[in-house]
Chains A and B, each alone.
Chain A
Amino acid sequence: MDFTYRGRCWKFGDNIAVDGDMMPLEFALQRETRLEVLGPHLMGGLDPDFAKKAKPGDIIVAGKRFAQGNPHIQGLLGVAALKLGLVVESIPRGSFRNAINAGAPILPRCPGVTGMADTGDALEVDFAAGRFRNLTRCTEAQFEPLDPSLLETIAIGGWKAKVLARVAKMKAAAG
């Protein structure tokens, strides 16, 4: 499966909080899941204009413990809403599952990646192969790729779409 994003880098540091930094907590408390509501607020706690500036295919590059805090899915749904990719040094497991379930492509374990790009650099990230290319710097790095079964979930649009497809397949098999 080809799963490559080409776009600009948006770089963030360590310990970006899922509540507050990535998305207002209120949306988590309201269990808001509509992409059109969440997208415009993404990363608003750090850069109120982020959602206006970011374009589909752009990549968020971040440091350790990205999306830390109570594992609310809303921040990750915001990433999926804007059709961005994630390349992070580390991410707590609850938020990793949420990224997959939201349908946001991610390379979850990329030690040192924040030293390999700056905001504005042109990037090309192949999530299936784990290949990270900085086209501005003409550098390339290889990280642990995303498992094919998780890529399938992202490709189909996240957890709910995946389960519906799985159930349909089971029903078809059962005749």
Chain B
Amino acid sequence: MGQTASEKIISRAMGRIVKAGEIVHPEPDLITVHDWYVVNFDKALQEFGVDRLYAPGKVLISTDHEPVAVSAAASARQKQVREIVRKYGITHFYDAGRGGHGHVFPMELGLVRPGMLVLAYDTHVTNYGAIGCLGIALVVEVSELLACGSVWVRVPETVRVNLKGRLGKGIAIRDIAQRLIKDLDPDLVDYTTVEFGGPALADIPVDLRMTLCNTPLEIGAKSALVDVDQRALDWIAPRAKAPFTVTNSDPDATFKAVIDYDLGMMEPQVAAPPTPDNVVGVSQVAGRKVDYAFIGSCASCSLTDLRDAAAILKGRTLAPGVRLVITPGTQEIATRATAEGLTQIFYEAGAMLTAPGCGPCAGGRIGTIGPGEVSINTGTRNDPGRLGPKDAEIYLASPLTVAASAVTGRITDPRELL
């Protein structure tokens, strides 16, 4: 009997064959923590009486939730983070302006590779599935991991999604990723790895595969993976810092479910308040006036996303009264966007660019909106209060739909502008 990719990856970490459903204590290949949680884990370790990490060389800290400190408290916290990094001898520290979004740049830098097991503080670590790395979030239990080297993990079952068909004009992978979590049964997906493959995969750029891996956790998935194919290998090979093993599921592995999903959907999709899976066709919310637009977040911050935004914004300007913030995911993406002329298009349209990282999506510390205002953006979540005021309305959509809406001042089907 074959194994799923998740079973294989955890089996390798355990040094023995494991099966879905088992409770195990694997030691991960990498542990990631973000700027905002570093002081918290240090405090937890002090409470536990721990003064050194189990494996400081495996820990990666990114500065993405607030790279440009926007308060005195934030500056003080950044200073504390640097001190904590020195105290524990953490080797992979990416300070403000270095790297960018921790759910993205470790793949660009080849620190995250196919077949690896990464355990993390933050939920969207599932992005690493784009290149066949199993990322699992632990939230506060990351403190135990840092102190003791492992925590319990239930080996997940796998829901296999075979993608087929072709994207229509004006439809983005973000539309697919959003619609999918409305269509999948949360009871089926809970605690599973959602794994993508199928004939349409070859058409999907690696950077958009992160988007596919970003949304399933919103309905309870534990992780997400994409089959590593030739397109992925071409992307990874020049970047990888060490040898790796491609770890795809065996054809005869046991899947909890196998679903065929057609990319040929009829119209762009929008997640209406208050949850990311409250997804409707754009026609149902088109015309809603918007005040504030944002393109970025670990769900949609890639070069391909920025190219989509630029395709709409080129030669156009924002509607009066509308603000648009664009946050490239990483230093590399920002550099390449500038080299391609995208940055110029954004500035000429009236957009503001922020430092690479999470941008306004990180809980409304930068780029907040006013009471009662309406935002359309590419963030990960649209809970009340995500961008500050609880009574602001937040719609989530693709970079194409967000850019089109910023240009017209109303939620707009991007096909009207393409």
Contact = CB atoms under 8 A, between A and B. Distances in A.
Contact of A93 (B49, B50, B220): B220
A134 interface: no
B187 A164 contact: no
Interface residues of chain A: helix, strand, loop or mixed (majority)? helix
Interface in A37-84: 64-65, 71
Contacts of B147: 163, 166-167
Interface in A124-171: 147, 149-150, 159-160, 163-164, 166-167, 170
Contact of B148 (A90, A97, A149, A166): A166
Given A149-B152, A167-B48, A167-B147, A90 B187 contact: yes
Contact of B187 (A65, A149, A159, A160): A65
Contacts of B187: 64-65, 90
B191 interface: yes
A110 to B, nearest CB: 14
B190 A93 contact: yes
B308 interface: no
Nearest to A164: B48
B405 interface: no
Given A149-B25, A164-B48, A167-B49, A90 B190 contact: yes
B103 interface: no
A170 B191 contact: no
B162 to A, nearest CB: 24
A174 to B, nearest CB: 10
Contacts of B48: 163-164, 167
Interface string B173-197: 0000000000000110011000000
Interface residues of B, number: 20
Given A64-B187, A65-B187, A92-B220, A170 B148 contact: yes
Interface residues of A, number: 20
A114 interface: no
Interface in A74-105: 90, 92-94, 96-97, 101
B135 to A, nearest CB: 15
A101 B190 contact: no
A71 B141 CA distance: 13
Shortest beta-carbon contacts, A-B, top 8:
A147-B23, A93-B191, A163-B144, A167-B48, A92-B220, A166-B148, A163-B48, A92-B190
Interface of B: 23, 25, 47-50, 139, 141, 143-144, 147-148, 152, 154, 186-187, 190-191, 220, 222
Given A93-B220, A160-B47, 8 more contacts: A65-B186, A93-B154, A93-B190, A93-B222, A150-B23, A159-B144, A163-B48, A164-B48
27 contacts: A64-B187, A65-B187, A71-B139, A90-B187, A92-B220, A93-B190, A93-B191, A93-B220, A97-B141, A149-B23, A149-B152, A150-B23, A159-B141, A159-B144, A160-B47, A163-B48, A163-B143, A163-B144, A163-B148, A164-B48, A164-B49, A166-B148, A167-B48, A167-B49, A167-B50, A167-B147, A167-B148
Interface of A: 64-65, 71, 90, 92-94, 96-97, 101, 147, 149-150, 159-160, 163-164, 166-167, 170
